[in-house]
Amino acid sequence: MFYIGISAYYHESSIFLTDNKDTNCFVKEEFFSRIKGDKNFPHRSLKFLIKKFDLKNENIKSICFYEKPFKSWWEIFYYSIKNPFQNKDFLINHLKNFNKGSIFFYTDVNKLINISREKIVYSSHHLSHCLYGLSVIKNVSDYVYVTCDGVGEGETMSIYTIDDEYKIKKIWTNFYPNSIGLLYSAITDFLGFEINEGEFKVMSLGSFGKPVYEKELKEMFDVENFVINMDYFKFHKSPSKSFSKKLCEVFGEPYLDINEKENFNKYADIASSTQLILEHTMKNLIQKAINLSGRRKVILTGGVALNCKMVHNLSKQDIFEEMIIPPSPGDSGSAIGAANFAFLEKSKVKTIDFNSIFLGPKKSLINKKESKDNLFLKINLTIDFANEAATKLIEGEIIASYYGSTEVGPRSLGNTSILCNARNEEAVNNLNLNLKKRGRFQPLAPILLEENFNKYFSINKNVFKNLEWMGTLCDAKELLYKDYASIIHIDGTCRTQIVKDESSLIYKVLKNLSSKGSNILVNTSFNISKDPVVFDLYDVYVNMRRMNIKFVLMDDGLYQVKDI
**What architecture (CATH level 2) is domain 363-561?**
Alpha-Beta Complex (3.90)
What strands, in cross-sheet order, belong to the sheet with 155-162?
A: 168-175, 155-162, 143-152, 297-301, 322-324
For residues 52-70, average pLDDT: 95
CA distances from 95 to 78, 84, 272 (A): 12, 12, 37
Closest CA to 133 of 320, 295, 4, 326: 326
pLDDT class of 56 with cuts at 50, 70, 90: very high
Q: What is the pLDDT of residue 172?
A: 98
What strands, in cross-sheet order, belong to the sheet with 557-561?
A: 376-378, 557-561, 551-554, 399-402, 416-421, 521-525, 445-449, 497-499
- 7/66 Cα distance (integer angstroms): 5
Of 17-31, 339-353, 358-372, least confident by mean pLDDT is 339-353
CATH 3.90.870.20 residue ranges for the chain? 363-561
DSSP-based three-state secondary structure for 276: helix
In 479-556, beta strands by DSSP E: 493-494, 497-499, 521-525, 551-554
For residues 532-561, average pLDDT: 96
Closest CA to 27 of 52, 1, 56: 52
Mind listing the pLDDT tens digit for each residue in 85-127? 677 777 777 777 777 778 889 999 999 999 999 999 999 999 9
For residues 508-534, average pLDDT: 95
- 189/196 Cα distance (integer angstroms): 10
Mean confidence (pLDDT) of the chain: 93
- 40/204 Cα distance (integer angstroms): 29
- Name every residue whose Cβ is closer than 8 Å to that of residue 285 and which is 6 or more positions away in sequence: 146, 148, 157, 226
**Percent of the chain residues past pLDDT 70, beyond the cut:** 99
What CATH class has 1-66+96-122+331-355?
Answer: alpha beta
532 with 34: CB under 8 angstroms? yes
Mind listing the pLDDT tens digit for each residue in 467-501? 999 999 999 999 999 999 999 999 999 999 999 99
DSSP-based three-state secondary structure for 157: strand
Mind listing the pLDDT tens digit for each residue in 495-516? 999 999 999 999 999 999 999 9
Closest CA to 505 of 441, 467, 553: 553
Q: What is the pLDDT of residue 351?
A: 74
pLDDT class of 381 with cuts at 50, 70, 90: low
For residues 311-318, average pLDDT: 97
- Residue type, position 554, single letter: M
For residues 442-459, average pLDDT: 96
Helix axes 199-206, 308-315, angle to 10 degrees: 50
Cβ burial of 452 (10 Å; 0-12, 13-18, 19+) is: middle
Q: What is the dihedral of CA 201, 203, 205, 207, to 10 degrees?
A: -150
Look at 202 and 530; give whichever has higher pLDDT.
202
Closest CA to 500 of 444, 448, 445, 553: 448
252 with 266: CB under 8 angstroms? yes
72 with 94: CB under 8 angstroms? no
Q: Is the pLDDT of residue 5 over 90?
A: yes
Q: Is the pLDDT of residue 530 over 90?
A: no
- Name every residue whose Cβ is closer than 8 Å to that of residue 96 and which is 6 or more positions away in sequence: none
128 with 341: CB under 8 angstroms? yes
CATH 3.30.420.40 residue ranges for the chain? 1-66+96-122+331-355, 135-326
Q: Are strands 322-324 and 457-458 parallel, antiparallel or unpaired?
A: unpaired
- CATH code reported for the domain at 135-326: 3.30.420.40
- 16/24 Cα distance (integer angstroms): 7
Q: What is the pLDDT of residue 396?
A: 96
Q: What angle do CA 5, 7, 13 make, to 5 degrees?
A: 125
Q: What is the pLDDT of residue 73?
A: 74
Q: What angle do CA 445, 451, 456 make, to 5 degrees?
A: 50
Q: What are all long-range contacts of 480-485, with beta carbons under 8 Å and residues at least 24 apart?
A: 480/456, 483/423, 484/422, 484/423, 484/446, 484/456, 484/520, 485/425
- 215/221 Cα distance (integer angstroms): 10
Q: What is the pLDDT of residue 501?
A: 94
Q: What is the pLDDT of residue 513?
A: 98
Q: List residues bridging with 3 in a β-sheet.
A: 18, 62
CA distances from 7 to 45, 334, 339 (A): 11, 6, 10
This prediction's pTM: 0.95
Give phi and psi for 465, each to the nearest 5: -60, -30
Q: What is the pLDDT of residue 536?
A: 96
Q: Is the pLDDT of residue 312 over 70?
A: yes
Look at 327 and 237; give whichever has higher pLDDT.
327
Q: Is the pLDDT of residue 36 over 80?
A: yes
408 with 327: CB under 8 angstroms? yes
Q: What is the pLDDT of residue 178?
A: 97
- 29/532 Cα distance (integer angstroms): 10
End-to-end Cα distance, the chain: 44
